[in-house]
Amino acid sequence: MTRIAENLQAVRARIAAAALAAGRNPEEVALLAVSKTWPAEDVADAARCGQRAFGENYVQEGVDKIVQLSGLGLEWHFIGPLQSNKTRLVAEHFDWVHSIDRAKIAERLSAQRPGSMEPLNVCLQVNVSGEGSKSGVRPEALPALADMVSALPGLRLRGLMCIPEATHDQRLLRSRFATLRELRGDLRARGLVAETLSMGMSHDVEEAIAEGATIVRVGSAIFGERSAPT
């Protein structure tokens, strides 16, 4: 068994245990394998173990892997900060974007999504920790952005995403994840369909699942520690 196969098995076990501990069905929690900085061979290795969904942070690096591995039937999620001059490549190659936090990016992605493809699945990234430096829409501005995005023909609003501040304080992490879940409730009350909660990474999968995560984004616990901080 390869190192990636072993790691994947361990992460799946963590997800299942966390879901059961929270009284949830483990099948409600999808694993997104975050392959940023790792080569296409590592993605192919994970794919051989049945992993289908992969997350990338850098547009060109992601597109290169998507093209290289196009025969494998994988699903690709863009999860990094997105500048407007890179939206076309994302619209033309990815299946999901988790990091939408402003109207301009959403409008461009919708307009640039090829008509031959399904609408792009999107999550709105929310700044749940209130740190000024963080990306993500402020909770007060979320309803207007969600209304606007849900009306765009090239996009399909699927839910919300967050990246809490870096901390090992489990209670704080849980309160951030709970905030995202409550904000999803607000969107549903507005009549929007938004089932996805994209939250939880290698070090806080358990806290995120306890608060209702439906997609966890796990990188280093599968592929190894990245050499450069990203």
Ligand X SMILES: *Cc1c(COP(=O)(O)O)cnc(C)c1O
Sites of contact with ligand X (CB under 6 A)? 34, 36, 57, 79-80, 163, 201-202, 217-221, 230
- Strand-pairing partners, residue 120, are 155
User: Please, which residue, 6 or 114, has the CB nearer to ligand X?
Assistant: 6
Please tell me what DSSP assigns to residue 72.
G
Written as one letter, the residue type at 74 is: L
R_g (Cα) of the chain, nearest Å: 17
CB of 207 to ligand X, least distance (A): 13
CB of 5 to ligand X, least distance (A): 17
User: Please, which residue, 74 or 163, has the CB nearer to ligand X?
Assistant: 163
User: Please, which residue, 146 or 218, has the CB nearer to ligand X?
Assistant: 218
Q: What is the C-alpha end-to-end distance of the chain, expressed in Å?
A: 28
Complete DSSP assignment for 144-168: HHHHHHHT-TTEEEEEEE----S--
Which residue sits closest to ligand X, CB atoms considered? 219
Q: Look at residues 153, 67, 79, 68 and name the one whose alpha carbon lies nearest to residue 109.
A: 153
User: Please, which residue, 114 or 130, has the CB nearer to ligand X?
Assistant: 130
CB of 221 to ligand X, least distance (A): 6
